[in-house]
Amino acid sequence: MMKCDVLITGVGGQGQILASRLIGAAAIIENQPVRTGETIGMSQRGGCVVSHVRIGGESKSATIPFGYADLIIGFELCETVRSLNRLSPDGGLIVNKQTINPVTVSLGMEAYDTEAMEKALQAKTDKRLIVDGYGLAQQAGSVKAVNVVLLGAAVGSGFLKLSRESFIEAIKSTVSQKFHELNVKAFELGYGFANMAMK
Amino acid sequence: MIESRCIVLLKLLMGNEAIALGAIKAGVNVVCGYPGTPSTEVLETVAKHNDGSIYVEWSVNEKTAMEVGAGAAYSGARTMVTMKQVGLNVASDPLMSLAYIGVKGGMVILVADDPGPLSSQTEQDTRHFAKFSNLPVLDPTTPEEAYEMVQYAFELSEQVGLPVFLRPTTRICHACAPIEVSEEKINHKPEGFIKDPKWVIFPSLAYKRHIEIEKLQSHLSDLFDKSAFNAVSGQGRLGIAASGIAYAYACDALKAMGSDVKLLKVGTPYPFPKATAESFLNEVDQVLVLEELDPVVEEALLELCAQKALCVKVLGKKDGTTPCCGEFSFEIVYNTIAKYIGRDVPAAAEAPSQPLPSRPPVLCAGCPHRASFYAVKKAMKGKKAVFTGDIGCYTLGNAKPLNMVDTCLCMGASISVAQGIKRVEPDTTLFAFIGDSTFFHTGIPGIINAVYNQTNLVLVVLDNSTTAMTGHQPHPGIAKTMMGNVSEKVSIPRILKAIGIKNVWTLNPFDQKAAINAVQDASQINGVSAIVFEAPCIAIIPKPKALSVENDKCRACGLCVKEIGCPSQYVTADKKVHIEPSTCYACGLCKSICAFDAIGGEA
């Protein structure tokens, strides 16, 4: 497999770290060298959280440079736009259409311009897929599974070139057993949606 | 003695997990520490993989951890003590003397530095502490190297009889890499404590030991000259010296530009590998030094150039070639190298095309600290009061709209800083906010000081039954230990009463009426009074059903949002308030504010 740098971006609490661990585990199942890097700590509590996953073993550092990401999996609209400058010119986008207002917006101190953000995505690349991650996760049984829905979409769209089987195996070896069914279902819903959408 | 099992597994490990598994492989017997980002997962991982043969504890603070570790190492145990960089300040008293006394069992002091800083109050550099205390320090570039280094650190410590620092930074601690983990481990049997005058520090012994330690420094430098953690690669008369994550960025940047510049990797910044560095310097005309935080390697190279009368120009932080503060990145390193070797410097990454709202971290929805702060704020409305804060999630109480943290300095300082302000402003009511884990860490001496010196203040303990900020570690008030035992709970109200505080309230902050009354009463008392707000962190309780806003009843006044800034609430274009069900913990604080009874559900 060619080098594949995947950036996961969203709001603290959306499960980005599990998502990056699952990609890492799936890569290892396929004998791919991989590095990941996370933001843990202050940034978790409702702040921006970015996870970096670098598959292919070309780099010593885990942080994806600007313009290098082959894929951004955006868990939240605004946070996706914030990280767009890390996307490579021919990189792909998987974006959860969910918006989460920062408290500063609820307090009226700042504006959240959804339309302008959607335009920024359109202007960046045509290689993009918008996913109703929240809705599909609800369908799977819990909105907490939105992270795994988006991973399913990333694989189903063909943007992330790791196999569906590797992810199912990664879920089973990483997630605690009582959540296997939920996560596998979430993955399949995301996978199925993206697979259809790309046809 | 090596056990015969030899199964090797490739595992994706976080740097901190790699350090823990490396320590287990090296036969560590005792591990103690205090939680602190980015170091916390090291001790947690040891505990998780403990087969029962390792003693693991969260100590009440870093000084205690260092002393427990010292005792274990005196007794021949392989010992690891873990903390973040500012934790080492707390542990510096035992550290400095321990460097003189030395150890018998290998002792690794794991201190994680935080360039940025991403979650710390300073950007201090632990390599200075190594130099200050005359102790060797290993500085890993990747999680893989950290796994190797921790094992070597135990050996080295026993070889020279000194504790050894392992100093990863955030990007090593929290990065994952595939590591071949072997199941074999050293079976290290501690000899036990042997009585000897060498364990008792006296001025006469200190002088004698100081001479020996100084001699050891050049021995260590010689040892490090032979270490694979230091290496020279590449060619040409333009040199680069790099350490830590900056070395990883330098390798990636040189690869990206297809360059093979002469590169010195420094994995042991102190004692400096002088012979290795000297032969490197002899082959170059200039050196660009790439390192985060302080110019430690740069100073060592400058010193060597002066000592050996070498005519080599050293570029780095001191002449402004590289940034002196903040984290490095691939881009900073790439651009610096490109400029240095005469390559094109790429244009900076484009900024987002429109301004995006900021997203600072906030207190979680349902966080009991919000209710505590709000009660104090309501009770003291219009009165002259200062609110001193401390280290923990509750530092986030400084944000709008609560605006309830006027100072934050270091662990335990809320209580003592309040006393200083009170001495200068006697007509101001002082509230000192401190969390439960921080109370045990370094809060207690400050309270005794206030009682002893008769300084009026209201102590507010925010007891959420966990060390929340670092990921929910237990502490003496919860009584669960890292060995899986349950000890007797240490009661905060009983400690306060024993210290001599006569008026101590213990209540749930979500009972806003009672909380506001208690705050008002406490603020009237002459002397030290205390309120212990008890309610568990939402992360350690099952999630209840969310509250919801009845759209017809909501008058779109926005008061609930403006008063408390709960992240579960959001406002739509019609100005009406809504609650996101997946994050609402039904704490009911918004419900208590709504004048129109528009918020429904069980609080």
Q: Are residue B476 and residue B578 in the same domain, yes or no?
A: no
Do residues B312 and B382 share a domain?
no
Are B75 and B175 found together in one domain?
A: yes
Residue B105 host element (H or E):
none
Instruction: State the pLDDT at residue B280.
Output: 98
Closest CA to A88 of A67, A73, A72, A65: A67
Are B26 and B161 in the same domain? yes
In whole angstroms, how far apart are CA B157 and each of B109, B136, B176?
A: 10, 9, 27
> Cβ of B410 under 8 Å from any chain A Cβ?
no
State the nearest Cα–Cα gap between A47 and chain B, in angstroms. 4
Does residue B103 sit in the same domain as residue B143?
Answer: yes
Return the structure tokens found at A103.
């408290």
Residue B521 domain-assigned (yes or no): yes
pTM: 0.96
Nearest to A28 among B10, B38, B360 (CB): B10
Q: What is the CATH number of the domain that holds B108?
A: 3.40.50.970
CATH superfamily of A4-132+160-172: Pyruvate-ferredoxin oxidoreductase, PFOR, domain III (3.40.920.10)
CB B22 within 8 Å of CB B150? yes
Decide if A195 touches B, using CB distance below 8 A.
no
- Please give the pLDDT value at position B4: 44
Q: Do A176 and A139 contact (CB within 8 A), yes or no?
A: no
pLDDT at position A41: 59
For chain A, positions 138-177, list CB contacts with chain B under 8 A. Answer: 143-144
Q: Which residues of B54-63 are buried (b: 16+ CB within 10 A; e: fewer)?
A: bbbbbbbbbb
Domain limit, last residue, from B507, B540, B573 = B540
Which of B429, B424, B427 shows the shortest CA–CA distance to B460? B429
Judge whether B139 lies within some domain: yes
* Chain B residues near residue A15 by CB distance under 8 angstroms: none
Q: Which among B249, B396, B401 has the least Cβ separation from residue A45?
A: B396
Look at residue B352 in the predicted model and tell me its pLDDT: 75
Query: Which of A32, A51, A59, A63 to substitute to test the interface with B, most B CBs within 10 Å?
Result: A63
Looking at the partner chain, which of A41, A104, A106 has a beta carbon nearest the beta carbon of B569? Answer: A106
Chain B residue whose CA is closest to A52: B175
- Identify the pLDDT of residue B2: 45
Does any CB of chain A come closer than 8 Å to the CB of residue B409? no
Residue spans of chain A under pLDDT 50: none
- Which candidate, B239, B238, B219, B241, places its Cα nearest to that of B230? B241
Pick from B522, B540, B558: which residue ends a domain?
B540
Give just the sign of the alpha carbon dihedral A77, A78, A81, A83.
negative
Domain ranges of chain A: 4-132+160-172
Q: Are residues B329 and B438 in the same domain?
A: no
Q: Sort out which chain A residues have CB atoms less than 8 A from B354's CB and list them.
A: 113, 116-117, 120
Question: Which among B248, B359, B396 has the least Cβ separation from residue A61?
Answer: B248
**How far, in whole angstroms, is CA B86 from its chain's centroid?**
7
Q: Specify whether the CB–CB gap between B428 and B422 falls below 8 A.
A: yes
Candidates B42, B45, B327, B356, partner chain A, best to mutate (most A CBs within 10 A): B356
Q: Residues of B393-418 as b/e, b for ≥16 C-beta within 10 angstroms?
A: bbbbbbbebbebbbbbebbbbbbbbb
- Please give the biggest Cα pair distance in chain A: 49
Same domain, B496 and B566: no
Chain B touched by A86 (CB under 8 Å): yes
- pLDDT of amino acid B1: 41
In this structure, what is the dihedral angle of CA atoms B150, B153, B155, B159, given to the nearest 10 degrees?
A: 180
Domain annotation covers residue B64: yes
Single-letter code of the amino acid located at B445: P
Domain shared by B300 and B191, yes or no:
no
| CATH (domain of B326) | 3.40.50.920
* CB-nearest partner of B37 from A25, A37, A40: A40
pLDDT value, residue A51:
96
Work out how many domains chain B is built from and give that number.
Answer: 4
Pair B254, B194 in one domain: no
What per-residue confidence (pLDDT) applies to A82?
Answer: 94
Residues pairing with B431 in the sheet: B387, B458
Residue B359 lies in a domain: no
Q: Are residues B563 and B513 in the same domain?
A: no
> What pLDDT sits at residue B354?
78
Mark the ranges of chain B whose per-residue pLDDT is less than 70.
1-7, 602-603
Q: Mutation target for A interface from B10, B11, B12, B575: give the one with most A CBs within 10 A.
A: B12
Range of the domain at B124: 8-221
**Tokens (6 digits) for B346:** 């790429």
Min Cα distance B242 → chain A (Å) is: 14
Which residues, listed in sequence order, are joined to residue A131 by a DSSP beta bridge?
A96
Predicted local distance difference test score (pLDDT) of residue A199: 85
**Rounded distance between C-alpha atoms, residue A6 and residue A56, angstroms:** 11
Measured between beta carbons, which residues in chain B are less than 8 angstroms from residue A105?
Answer: 357, 570
Which of B295, B321, B349 finishes a domain? B349
Asked whether the CA dihedral B346, B348, B353, B356 is positive or negative, the reply is positive
Q: Report the pLDDT value the prediction gives residue B560, as an integer from 0 to 100.
A: 96
Distance from CA of A112 to the nearest CA of B (A): 6
User: In this structure, which amino acid lies at residue A45?
Assistant: R
pLDDT the model gives residue B9: 76
Helix (H) / strand (E) element for B438: namely: helix B436-438
Give the gap in angstroms from C-alpha A61 to the nearest C-alpha of chain B: 5
